[in-house]
Amino acid sequence: MAEIKLSVERLQTGVFVKLPVKWGEHPFMFTSFKIKSQDQIEVIRNLGLKHVIVVPEKSTAPPLPVIEDGAKTAPTDKDVSQKAEKALWEEKRARIEELKNYRRNLQKVEKEFDRSMSQVRAVMSKLKSRPLNAVEDATTLINNLADDLLSGENVVLHLMNDSKDADSFYYHSLNVSILAMMLAKAAGFSERDIKVLGIAGLFHDVGKMKIPDKILRKSGKLTAQEANLLKMHTKYGADFLKLSETIPPQVKLIAQQHHEYLDGSGYPQKLKGDEIDRLSQLIAVVNEYDSLCHPRDPRLSRIPFTVIAYLYKQRKQQLNTADLGILIRLLGIYPPGSVVQLSSGQIGLVMSVNSERLLFPTVQVYDPNIPRTEAPIIDLEAAGLTIEKALKPSALPEAIFEYLNPRARISYYFDHNKRL
């Protein structure tokens, strides 16, 4: 992308500039931006800069013509420029404080997520030796999560830290559980059904504990025999859960039916339409989403944006369209974990999505002028920016990839107390 050195006297609104100073030495939120007002030009001049870098491809207006020798430029109104600069500094400091608050809140949510993950691991480890205790612990975990979820009006969905490959089963179980409860709440399900779905999300794949690891972790294509054995996890799960008298009957049914599809193409019974339990239909939607984002073979993984588009366009005959539509409204077009290009031309990682403002997620932005540990996380609505498109992490330049650190496994957790 071509860049040119330009005299500050030739700046006008619509020109995209890069300031040749460090981030802490100017009042703007970014060192690179498109000029929106004459006040911003006056502030740039007041910084004592003679020249800036301009990116014509990102500009919506050309620079002003070259000023002929002897021609006079309009004098700068120092009072106006100083007031504008002071206002920008105040706004920048306020944004920095908001960012600190966001990071503190995110750290709190991550601790809650880690605590829940530890409980999920403990539940799964107890299933074989102490199943009654495992069910009690799972019920307590889900009741607490559901109560938090139901006590808030809007929900903010956050991107969590990456997982280890060995923990993928636990992360998938918690992901399905959380997304299923969120979807059920948005769909107006009863509190009882929401909690049933939460427990079912944790236990829907419990039958995989009887499947050999060499099949579960095989990266290549499964043989017909291996594929048939893997499909047995629905039967194994239902049979295992039937041993417990305290698990709700629908949880056992969901373990058996979560791979049944409305067109009869699923398994194990090839059920159609209303033959499939209503809660099982909802779990099927969430399970498909998370499984496509994190398939058994990592080489087949898709970015959240393309998974959403794929499910909506290609799987309508198989999945409950009402649930699918609500899932899209919850996650947004660009779910947390999506790598995106903004209208400013910047590259960022979607960190959080507010259910009330899906078009304006919170995005961590790549800025080589700012240390990675202090990377700017911006509210697109407040910044006046939009998302232009989603990008494949594998296509990012190495410096941007290392800076943004896209997650190999995308895990979600909710927070209903903060408005981002």
- The radius of gyration computed from the CA coordinates of the chain, to the nearest angstrom, equals 26
pLDDT at residue 359, as a whole number: 79
Contact 9, 49 (CB under 8 A): no
pLDDT at residue 163, as a whole number: 61
Fold of 93-415: Hypothetical protein af1432 (1.10.3210)
pLDDT at residue 411, as a whole number: 86
For helices 191-203 and 168-186, angle between their N-to-C axes, nearest 10 degrees: 160
Rounded distance between C-alpha atoms, residue 342 and residue 267, angstroms: 42
Domain boundaries of the chain, sorted by first residue: 93-415
pLDDT at residue 157, as a whole number: 83
Enter the pTM of the model.
Answer: 0.84
pLDDT at residue 385, as a whole number: 86
Which parts of the chain have pLDDT scores under 50? 418-420
pLDDT at residue 416, as a whole number: 59
Contact 30, 376 (CB under 8 A): yes
Is the torsion defined by CA of 202, 207, 211, 215 positive or negative? negative
pLDDT at residue 217, as a whole number: 87
Enter the tokens of residue 284.
């099927």
Contact 408, 162 (CB under 8 A): yes
pLDDT at residue 252, as a whole number: 95
pLDDT at residue 284, as a whole number: 98
Enter the tokens of residue 403.
């800076």
pLDDT at residue 225, as a whole number: 96
Rounded distance between C-alpha atoms, residue 315 and residue 325, angstroms: 12
